[in-house]
Protein backbone atom coordinates (compact mmCIF):
# COMPACT_ATOMS: atom_id res chain seq x y z
CA UNK A 1 0.00 0.00 0.00
CA UNK A 2 1.20 3.59 0.17
CA UNK A 3 3.90 1.76 1.71
CA UNK A 4 3.75 2.15 4.82
CA UNK A 5 -0.85 2.81 5.40
CA UNK A 6 -13.38 -1.76 17.11
CA UNK A 7 -13.09 -1.50 19.94
CA UNK A 8 -15.56 0.98 21.42
CA UNK A 9 -15.16 1.61 25.13
CA UNK A 10 -16.14 4.51 27.34
CA UNK A 11 -13.98 6.44 29.80
CA UNK A 12 -14.03 10.14 30.66
CA UNK A 13 -11.47 12.51 29.16
CA UNK A 14 -12.44 16.04 28.26
CA UNK A 15 -10.01 18.67 26.95
CA UNK A 16 -9.91 22.14 28.53
CA UNK A 17 -12.24 24.68 26.99
CA UNK A 18 -11.02 28.07 25.81
CA UNK A 19 -12.75 30.75 27.86
CA UNK A 20 -13.90 33.80 25.93
CA UNK A 21 -12.90 37.17 27.38
CA UNK A 22 -14.75 40.41 26.89
CA UNK A 23 -13.59 41.81 23.51
CA UNK A 24 -11.84 45.18 23.52
CA UNK A 25 -13.80 48.33 22.80
CA UNK A 26 -14.05 48.88 19.06
CA UNK A 27 -12.83 45.39 18.22
CA UNK A 28 -13.96 43.75 15.04
CA UNK A 29 -17.22 41.87 15.70
CA UNK A 30 -17.25 38.08 15.90
CA UNK A 31 -13.51 37.74 16.46
CA UNK A 32 -12.59 34.53 18.29
CA UNK A 33 -11.81 34.31 21.96
CA UNK A 34 -8.32 35.06 23.17
CA UNK A 35 -6.30 31.86 23.40
CA UNK A 36 -3.61 29.77 21.75
CA UNK A 37 -4.28 28.81 18.14
CA UNK A 38 -2.92 27.30 14.98
CA UNK A 39 -3.49 29.63 12.02
CA UNK A 40 -4.44 27.29 9.16
CA UNK A 41 -5.01 28.15 5.53
CA UNK A 42 -8.51 27.15 4.48
CA UNK A 43 -7.07 26.53 1.01
CA UNK A 44 -4.16 24.22 1.84
CA UNK A 45 -4.77 23.15 5.45
CA UNK A 46 -1.15 24.10 6.25
CA UNK A 47 -0.16 26.20 9.27
CA UNK A 48 1.44 29.63 9.53
CA UNK A 49 4.89 29.07 11.10
CA UNK A 50 7.71 31.37 12.18
CA UNK A 51 10.64 30.40 9.95
CA UNK A 52 13.45 32.58 11.35
CA UNK A 53 11.38 35.71 11.01
CA UNK A 54 9.61 34.81 7.77
CA UNK A 55 6.04 33.57 8.08
CA UNK A 56 5.59 30.46 5.96
CA UNK A 57 2.98 27.76 5.62
CA UNK A 58 4.31 24.48 6.98
CA UNK A 59 2.94 21.00 7.53
CA UNK A 60 1.01 20.87 10.83
CA UNK A 61 3.39 19.65 13.51
CA UNK A 62 1.72 20.02 16.88
CA UNK A 63 3.71 22.02 19.38
CA UNK A 64 6.85 21.83 17.24
CA UNK A 65 8.08 24.14 14.48
CA UNK A 66 6.84 27.51 15.91
CA UNK A 67 3.27 27.07 14.72
CA UNK A 68 1.35 28.16 17.82
CA UNK A 69 0.15 31.73 18.33
CA UNK A 70 -1.44 33.52 21.28
CA UNK A 71 -4.32 35.64 20.00
CA UNK A 72 -5.01 38.62 22.26
CA UNK A 73 -6.62 42.05 21.97
CA UNK A 74 -4.45 45.10 21.36
CA UNK A 75 -6.40 48.33 21.33
CA UNK A 76 -9.19 48.01 18.79
CA UNK A 77 -7.42 45.18 16.94
CA UNK A 78 -5.66 41.90 17.75
CA UNK A 79 -2.13 40.52 17.73
CA UNK A 80 -0.84 36.96 17.37
CA UNK A 81 2.08 36.50 19.73
CA UNK A 82 4.48 33.61 19.07
CA UNK A 83 4.41 31.02 21.87
CA UNK A 84 8.06 30.24 21.11
CA UNK A 85 9.43 33.80 21.01
CA UNK A 86 7.54 36.04 23.42
CA UNK A 87 7.25 39.61 22.21
CA UNK A 88 7.44 38.61 18.54
CA UNK A 89 4.14 38.67 16.69
CA UNK A 90 2.87 37.59 13.32
CA UNK A 91 2.94 40.80 11.31
CA UNK A 92 3.94 42.49 8.09
CA UNK A 93 6.92 44.00 6.35
CA UNK A 94 5.95 45.47 3.00
CA UNK A 95 4.18 42.72 1.05
CA UNK A 96 5.67 39.90 3.10
CA UNK A 97 4.36 38.28 6.28
CA UNK A 98 7.05 38.51 8.96
CA UNK A 99 7.47 38.38 12.70
CA UNK A 100 7.69 41.88 14.14
CA UNK A 101 7.74 43.30 17.67
CA UNK A 102 4.28 42.96 19.17
CA UNK A 103 4.22 46.70 19.99
CA UNK A 104 4.69 47.54 16.30
CA UNK A 105 1.76 48.87 14.27
CA UNK A 106 2.59 46.14 11.74
CA UNK A 107 1.62 43.47 14.28
CA UNK A 108 -2.03 44.57 14.50
CA UNK A 109 -4.79 42.73 12.64
CA UNK A 110 -8.49 43.18 12.21
CA UNK A 111 -9.89 39.68 12.62
CA UNK A 112 -13.24 39.17 10.90
CA UNK A 113 -15.45 36.07 10.83
CA UNK A 114 -16.57 35.14 7.32
CA UNK A 115 -18.74 32.10 8.08
CA UNK A 116 -18.03 28.41 8.28
CA UNK A 117 -15.62 29.00 11.19
CA UNK A 118 -13.31 30.96 8.90
CA UNK A 119 -11.67 34.34 9.36
CA UNK A 120 -9.75 37.00 7.53
CA UNK A 121 -6.80 38.92 8.97
CA UNK A 122 -6.56 42.45 7.60
CA UNK A 123 -4.10 45.27 8.25
CA UNK A 124 -6.19 47.94 10.05
CA UNK A 125 -7.39 50.80 7.86
CA UNK A 126 -6.40 49.00 4.63
CA UNK A 127 -7.66 46.31 2.28
CA UNK A 128 -4.42 44.30 2.67
CA UNK A 129 -4.92 40.76 3.97
CA UNK A 130 -2.74 37.92 5.17
CA UNK A 131 -2.86 35.49 2.26
CA UNK A 132 -1.36 32.37 0.77
CA UNK A 133 0.68 33.19 -2.34
CA UNK A 134 -0.94 32.29 -5.65
CA UNK A 135 -0.15 28.82 -6.98
CA UNK A 136 2.24 28.74 -9.95
CA UNK A 137 1.20 26.39 -12.78
CA UNK A 138 2.20 22.82 -12.00
CA UNK A 139 3.40 23.56 -8.46
CA UNK A 140 2.23 23.83 -4.88
CA UNK A 141 1.47 27.18 -3.29
CA UNK A 142 4.76 28.81 -2.22
CA UNK A 143 5.65 28.53 1.45
CA UNK A 144 6.05 32.26 2.06
CA UNK A 145 2.84 34.00 3.14
CA UNK A 146 2.18 37.42 1.70
CA UNK A 147 0.08 40.51 2.25
CA UNK A 148 -2.38 40.75 -0.62
CA UNK A 149 -5.94 41.20 -1.75
CA UNK A 150 -9.03 39.57 -0.22
CA UNK A 151 -10.34 36.35 -1.66
CA UNK A 152 -10.17 32.60 -1.23
CA UNK A 153 -6.45 32.59 -0.47
CA UNK A 154 -7.03 35.03 2.42
CA UNK A 155 -9.34 32.65 4.31
CA UNK A 156 -8.04 31.17 7.59
CA UNK A 157 -9.06 28.84 10.38
CA UNK A 158 -8.09 29.68 13.95
CA UNK A 159 -7.83 26.19 15.42
CA UNK A 160 -7.57 26.03 19.22
CA UNK A 161 -4.55 24.17 20.55
CA UNK A 162 -6.73 22.99 23.44
CA UNK A 163 -10.23 22.73 21.95
CA UNK A 164 -13.38 22.29 23.89
CA UNK A 165 -14.82 18.82 23.39
CA UNK A 166 -18.08 17.12 24.27
CA UNK A 167 -18.97 13.77 25.80
CA UNK A 168 -19.61 10.89 23.46
CA UNK A 169 -23.35 10.38 22.86
CA UNK A 170 -24.98 7.16 24.02
CA UNK A 171 -24.21 4.13 21.91
CA UNK A 172 -27.46 4.32 19.94
CA UNK A 173 -27.02 8.03 19.12
CA UNK A 174 -23.46 8.10 17.74
CA UNK A 175 -23.09 9.12 14.12
CA UNK A 176 -20.53 7.37 11.95
CA UNK A 177 -18.23 10.41 11.89
CA UNK A 178 -18.12 10.51 15.70
CA UNK A 179 -16.67 7.01 16.04
CA UNK A 180 -13.05 5.86 15.75
CA UNK A 181 -12.15 2.41 14.42
CA UNK A 182 -8.94 0.40 14.71
CA UNK A 183 -7.62 -0.12 11.17
CA UNK A 184 -4.91 -2.48 9.93
CA UNK A 185 -2.60 -1.17 7.24
CA UNK A 186 -1.91 -3.77 4.55
CA UNK A 187 -4.20 -6.14 6.43
CA UNK A 188 -3.67 -8.89 3.83
CA UNK A 189 0.15 -8.76 4.28
CA UNK A 190 0.07 -11.00 7.31
CA UNK A 191 1.93 -14.18 6.34
CA UNK A 192 -0.95 -16.26 7.71
CA UNK A 193 -3.68 -16.24 5.06
CA UNK A 194 -1.27 -16.61 2.12
CA UNK A 195 1.62 -14.97 0.30
CA UNK A 196 1.58 -11.24 -0.30
CA UNK A 197 4.95 -10.33 -1.84
CA UNK A 198 8.00 -11.88 -3.54
CA UNK A 199 10.57 -13.74 -1.42
CA UNK A 200 12.44 -11.64 1.16
CA UNK A 201 9.76 -8.93 1.11
CA UNK A 202 7.50 -11.62 2.57
CA UNK A 203 9.79 -11.59 5.60
CA UNK A 204 8.50 -8.17 6.70
CA UNK A 205 4.73 -8.49 7.10
CA UNK A 206 2.67 -5.46 8.10
CA UNK A 207 0.50 -7.70 10.29
CA UNK A 208 1.10 -11.14 11.80
CA UNK A 209 -2.50 -12.27 12.26
CA UNK A 210 -4.95 -13.40 9.61
CA UNK A 211 -8.08 -11.50 8.64
CA UNK A 212 -10.36 -13.67 10.77
CA UNK A 213 -8.27 -13.06 13.86
CA UNK A 214 -8.03 -9.36 13.07
CA UNK A 215 -11.82 -9.22 13.03
CA UNK A 216 -11.97 -11.13 16.30
CA UNK A 217 -9.44 -8.74 17.86
CA UNK A 218 -11.58 -5.70 17.10
CA UNK A 219 -10.05 -4.43 13.85
CA UNK A 220 -12.84 -2.76 11.87
CA UNK A 221 -10.94 -1.03 9.06
CA UNK A 222 -8.89 -2.96 6.48
CA UNK A 223 -6.43 -1.52 3.95
CA UNK A 224 -5.96 -3.86 1.00
CA UNK A 225 -3.85 -3.64 -2.19
CA UNK A 226 -5.43 -5.25 -5.24
CA UNK A 227 -3.69 -6.08 -8.50
CA UNK A 228 -5.09 -7.45 -11.72
CA UNK A 229 -4.16 -10.94 -12.86
CA UNK A 230 -5.84 -13.48 -15.14
CA UNK A 231 -7.46 -14.83 -11.95
CA UNK A 232 -9.08 -11.49 -11.07
CA UNK A 233 -8.31 -9.00 -8.30
CA UNK A 234 -5.51 -10.42 -6.16
CA UNK A 235 -4.06 -9.10 -2.88
CA UNK A 236 -0.36 -8.41 -3.33
CA UNK A 237 2.19 -5.78 -2.42
CA UNK A 238 3.40 -3.77 -5.47
CA UNK A 239 2.76 -6.66 -7.85
CA UNK A 240 1.76 -10.32 -7.80
CA UNK A 241 4.80 -11.56 -9.74
CA UNK A 242 6.64 -14.34 -7.87
CA UNK A 243 4.11 -14.28 -5.02
CA UNK A 244 3.44 -17.74 -3.62
CA UNK A 245 -0.17 -18.56 -2.63
CA UNK A 246 -1.65 -15.05 -3.03
CA UNK A 247 -5.17 -14.44 -1.74
CA UNK A 248 -7.99 -13.20 -3.96
CA UNK A 249 -9.88 -10.10 -2.86
CA UNK A 250 -13.19 -11.94 -2.81
CA UNK A 251 -11.81 -14.43 -0.27
CA UNK A 252 -11.01 -11.75 2.31
CA UNK A 253 -14.25 -9.90 1.62
CA UNK A 254 -16.13 -13.15 2.15
CA UNK A 255 -14.45 -13.47 5.55
CA UNK A 256 -15.69 -10.01 6.45
CA UNK A 257 -19.23 -10.60 5.20
CA UNK A 258 -19.38 -13.89 7.12
CA UNK A 259 -18.20 -12.07 10.24
CA UNK A 260 -20.87 -9.40 9.81
CA UNK A 261 -23.57 -12.03 9.41
CA UNK A 262 -22.41 -13.66 12.64
CA UNK A 263 -22.11 -10.31 14.44
CA UNK A 264 -25.12 -8.21 13.41
CA UNK A 265 -24.15 -5.20 15.54
CA UNK A 266 -20.74 -4.60 13.89
CA UNK A 267 -19.58 -2.28 11.06
CA UNK A 268 -16.57 -2.79 8.77
CA UNK A 269 -14.79 -0.48 6.30
CA UNK A 270 -12.45 -1.54 3.49
CA UNK A 271 -9.92 0.76 1.78
CA UNK A 272 -8.67 -0.46 -1.60
CA UNK A 273 -5.38 0.62 -3.08
CA UNK A 274 -6.77 -0.25 -6.43
CA UNK A 275 -4.84 -1.30 -9.55
CA UNK A 276 -7.59 -3.16 -11.40
CA UNK A 277 -10.07 -2.26 -14.11
CA UNK A 278 -13.57 -1.47 -12.83
CA UNK A 279 -15.11 -4.44 -14.66
CA UNK A 280 -12.61 -6.78 -12.99
CA UNK A 281 -13.46 -5.36 -9.57
CA UNK A 282 -17.18 -5.67 -10.25
CA UNK A 283 -16.76 -9.33 -11.20
CA UNK A 284 -14.69 -9.95 -8.08
CA UNK A 285 -17.35 -8.47 -5.79
CA UNK A 286 -20.01 -10.56 -7.50
CA UNK A 287 -18.24 -13.66 -6.17
CA UNK A 288 -18.83 -12.65 -2.54
CA UNK A 289 -21.92 -14.38 -1.19
CA UNK A 290 -24.13 -11.99 0.78
CA UNK A 291 -22.18 -8.83 -0.05
CA UNK A 292 -25.20 -6.98 -1.43
CA UNK A 293 -27.10 -7.71 1.78
CA UNK A 294 -24.68 -5.69 3.93
CA UNK A 295 -23.18 -3.14 1.53
CA UNK A 296 -23.53 0.48 2.62
CA UNK A 297 -24.12 3.07 -0.13
CA UNK A 298 -23.71 6.62 1.31
CA UNK A 299 -24.19 8.02 -2.19
CA UNK A 300 -27.82 6.88 -2.13
CA UNK A 301 -28.84 8.11 1.33
CA UNK A 302 -28.30 11.89 1.31
CA UNK A 303 -25.11 11.89 3.36
CA UNK A 304 -23.57 14.80 1.48
CA UNK A 305 -26.61 16.93 2.22
CA UNK A 306 -27.48 15.77 5.75
CA UNK A 307 -24.28 14.37 7.23
CA UNK A 308 -23.40 10.85 8.32
CA UNK A 309 -26.16 8.70 9.83
CA UNK A 310 -26.18 7.15 13.26
CA UNK A 311 -24.23 3.92 13.42
CA UNK A 312 -27.21 2.29 15.10
CA UNK A 313 -29.39 3.15 12.11
CA UNK A 314 -26.89 1.58 9.72
CA UNK A 315 -26.89 -1.53 11.87
CA UNK A 316 -30.68 -1.68 11.94
CA UNK A 317 -30.78 -1.38 8.15
CA UNK A 318 -28.01 -3.99 7.82
CA UNK A 319 -25.84 -1.48 5.88
CA UNK A 320 -22.63 -2.48 7.59
CA UNK A 321 -19.85 -2.79 5.00
CA UNK A 322 -18.40 0.36 3.43
CA UNK A 323 -15.88 -0.03 0.59
CA UNK A 324 -13.63 2.75 -0.71
CA UNK A 325 -11.28 2.88 -3.69
CA UNK A 326 -8.35 5.26 -4.12
CA UNK A 327 -8.96 5.43 -7.88
CA UNK A 328 -10.29 8.64 -9.39
CA UNK A 329 -13.77 9.00 -10.81
CA UNK A 330 -12.45 10.73 -13.94
CA UNK A 331 -10.30 7.76 -14.98
CA UNK A 332 -13.27 5.41 -14.63
CA UNK A 333 -15.61 7.73 -16.52
CA UNK A 334 -13.22 7.65 -19.45
CA UNK A 335 -13.35 3.84 -19.27
CA UNK A 336 -17.16 3.90 -19.29
CA UNK A 337 -17.81 2.24 -15.91
CA UNK A 338 -17.67 3.97 -12.53
CA UNK A 339 -17.00 1.94 -9.40
CA UNK A 340 -19.72 3.60 -7.39
CA UNK A 341 -22.25 2.20 -9.89
CA UNK A 342 -21.68 -1.16 -8.16
CA UNK A 343 -21.20 0.18 -4.62
CA UNK A 344 -17.50 1.09 -4.28
CA UNK A 345 -17.11 4.70 -3.14
CA UNK A 346 -14.39 7.04 -4.39
CA UNK A 347 -12.39 7.76 -1.26
CA UNK A 348 -11.44 11.33 -2.15
CA UNK A 349 -15.12 12.24 -2.30
CA UNK A 350 -15.91 10.90 1.17
CA UNK A 351 -12.76 11.07 3.28
CA UNK A 352 -9.63 13.03 4.01
CA UNK A 353 -6.37 11.21 4.70
CA UNK A 354 -2.94 12.23 5.93
CA UNK A 355 0.31 11.33 4.20
CA UNK A 356 1.11 7.68 4.79
CA UNK A 357 4.76 7.68 5.85
CA UNK A 358 6.27 8.66 9.19
CA UNK A 359 9.72 7.88 7.77
CA UNK A 360 11.84 4.78 7.32
CA UNK A 361 11.56 1.83 9.64
CA UNK A 362 14.60 2.99 11.61
CA UNK A 363 15.78 6.31 12.98
CA UNK A 364 13.90 9.55 13.44
CA UNK A 365 10.21 9.89 12.66
CA UNK A 366 8.13 12.62 11.06
CA UNK A 367 4.98 13.24 13.09
CA UNK A 368 3.72 16.09 10.95
CA UNK A 369 0.16 15.54 9.78
CA UNK A 370 -0.79 16.84 6.33
CA UNK A 371 -2.96 15.76 3.46
CA UNK A 372 -1.99 12.82 1.33
CA UNK A 373 -3.74 14.67 -1.48
CA UNK A 374 -1.90 17.98 -1.55
CA UNK A 375 0.47 18.32 -4.47
CA UNK A 376 0.87 20.18 -7.75
CA UNK A 377 -2.20 18.50 -9.23
CA UNK A 378 -4.46 17.90 -6.22
CA UNK A 379 -5.58 20.00 -3.29
CA UNK A 380 -7.78 18.24 -0.72
CA UNK A 381 -6.77 19.66 2.68
CA UNK A 382 -7.39 17.67 5.84
CA UNK A 383 -9.62 20.56 6.94
CA UNK A 384 -12.06 20.11 4.04
CA UNK A 385 -15.71 20.41 5.01
CA UNK A 386 -18.94 21.03 3.13
CA UNK A 387 -22.27 22.45 4.30
CA UNK A 388 -23.91 19.66 6.29
CA UNK A 389 -21.11 17.17 5.63
CA UNK A 390 -17.75 16.37 7.20
CA UNK A 391 -15.54 13.82 5.45
CA UNK A 392 -14.36 10.86 7.49
CA UNK A 393 -10.72 11.22 8.58
CA UNK A 394 -8.26 8.39 7.91
CA UNK A 395 -5.15 8.81 10.08
CA UNK A 396 -2.15 6.84 8.88
CA UNK A 397 0.44 6.03 11.55
CA UNK A 398 3.19 3.77 10.21
CA UNK A 399 6.62 3.72 8.54
CA UNK A 400 8.00 2.73 5.16
CA UNK A 401 9.19 -0.63 6.52
CA UNK A 402 7.17 -2.48 9.19
CA UNK A 403 9.81 -3.39 11.78
CA UNK A 404 8.30 -4.89 14.92
CA UNK A 405 10.38 -2.92 17.44
CA UNK A 406 9.63 0.38 15.70
CA UNK A 407 5.92 -0.42 15.32
CA UNK A 408 5.68 -1.24 19.02
CA UNK A 409 7.21 2.11 19.97
CA UNK A 410 5.15 4.07 17.43
CA UNK A 411 1.92 2.41 18.48
CA UNK A 412 2.44 3.40 22.12
CA UNK A 413 2.42 7.01 20.87
CA UNK A 414 -0.68 6.64 18.70
CA UNK A 415 -3.11 8.50 20.96
CA UNK A 416 -0.60 11.29 21.58
CA UNK A 417 -0.02 11.88 17.87
CA UNK A 418 -3.76 11.79 17.22
CA UNK A 419 -4.45 14.38 19.92
CA UNK A 420 -1.52 16.77 19.49
CA UNK A 421 -0.74 16.52 15.78
CA UNK A 422 -3.48 15.05 13.60
CA UNK A 423 -6.67 16.17 15.34
CA UNK A 424 -5.77 19.90 15.10
CA UNK A 425 -4.39 19.40 11.58
CA UNK A 426 -7.74 18.07 10.37
CA UNK A 427 -9.93 19.99 12.83
CA UNK A 428 -11.65 16.70 13.57
CA UNK A 429 -10.70 13.56 15.44
CA UNK A 430 -9.61 10.55 13.38
CA UNK A 431 -12.25 8.02 12.41
CA UNK A 432 -9.76 5.36 11.35
CA UNK A 433 -6.44 4.78 13.13
CA UNK A 434 -4.36 2.84 10.59
CA UNK A 435 -1.29 1.06 11.93
CA UNK A 436 1.18 -1.70 11.23
CA UNK A 437 1.31 -4.55 13.78
CA UNK A 438 -1.87 -3.50 15.57
CA UNK A 439 -1.11 -6.26 18.12
CA UNK A 440 1.85 -4.27 19.46
CA UNK A 441 1.75 -1.15 21.62
CA UNK A 442 -1.85 -1.38 22.92
CA UNK A 443 -3.53 0.32 19.96
CA UNK A 444 -6.93 -0.54 21.43
CA UNK A 445 -6.41 1.97 24.25
CA UNK A 446 -5.86 4.76 21.70
CA UNK A 447 -9.11 3.85 19.94
CA UNK A 448 -10.96 3.70 23.24
CA UNK A 449 -9.62 7.09 24.31
CA UNK A 450 -10.81 8.75 21.09
CA UNK A 451 -14.20 7.14 21.58
CA UNK A 452 -14.77 9.01 24.85
CA UNK A 453 -15.39 12.45 23.32
CA UNK A 454 -16.66 14.38 20.31
CA UNK A 455 -14.85 17.19 18.56
CA UNK A 456 -17.08 20.15 17.65
* Strand-strand pairing, 392-397 and 432-435: parallel
Rg, the chain, Cα only: 23
Model pTM above 0.85: yes
Rounded to the nearest 10 degrees, the angle between the axes of helix 278-285 and helix 249-262 is: 40
Report the distance separating Cα 228 and Cα 244, nearest Å: 16
Report the distance separating Cα 175 and Cα 322, nearest Å: 15
HSE-up of 312 (CA within 13 Å, CB side)? 6
Task: Walk me through the domains of the chain, giving residue ranges and CATH numbers.
Answer: 35-160 (2.80.10.50), 167-454 (3.20.20.190)
The phi and psi torsions of 101 (rounded to 5 degrees) equal -55, 140
What contacts 84, CB < 8 A, 6 or more positions away?
A: 50, 66, 68
Question: How far from 240 is each of 4, 78, 191, CA to CA, in Å?
Answer: 18, 59, 15
Phi-psi region of 224 (alpha: psi -120 to 50; beta: other; left: phi over 0): beta
Going residue by residue through the chain (456 aa), what tens digit of pLDDT does each one get? Answer: 444 333 333 333 323 333 333 444 334 446 689 999 999 999 999 999 999 999 999 999 999 999 999 999 999 999 999 999 999 999 999 999 999 999 999 999 999 999 888 999 999 999 999 999 999 999 999 999 999 999 999 999 999 999 999 999 999 999 999 999 999 999 999 999 999 998 877 778 999 999 999 999 999 999 999 999 999 999 999 999 999 999 999 999 999 999 999 999 999 999 999 999 999 999 999 999 999 999 999 999 999 999 999 999 999 999 999 999 999 999 899 889 999 999 999 999 999 999 999 999 888 899 999 999 998 889 999 999 998 899 999 999 999 999 999 999 999 999 999 999 999 999 999 999 999 999 999 999 999 999 999 998
| Burial bucket for residue 36 (CB in 10 Å: 0-12, 13-18, 19+) | middle
Amino acid sequence: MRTPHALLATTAALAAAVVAPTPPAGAVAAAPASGTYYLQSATTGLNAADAQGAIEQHRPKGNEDRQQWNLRPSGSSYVLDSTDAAGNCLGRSGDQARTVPCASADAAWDVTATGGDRYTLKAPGTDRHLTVAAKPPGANHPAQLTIGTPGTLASWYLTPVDPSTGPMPPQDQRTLDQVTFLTSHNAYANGVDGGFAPPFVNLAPNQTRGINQQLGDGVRGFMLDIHQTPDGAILCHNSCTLVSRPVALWVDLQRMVDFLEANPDQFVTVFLEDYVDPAVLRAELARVDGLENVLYRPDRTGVRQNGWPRLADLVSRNQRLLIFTDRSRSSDESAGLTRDSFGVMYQREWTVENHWSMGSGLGSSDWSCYSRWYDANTNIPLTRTEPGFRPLFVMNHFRDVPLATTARTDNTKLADRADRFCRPAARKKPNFLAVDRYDLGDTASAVNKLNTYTYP
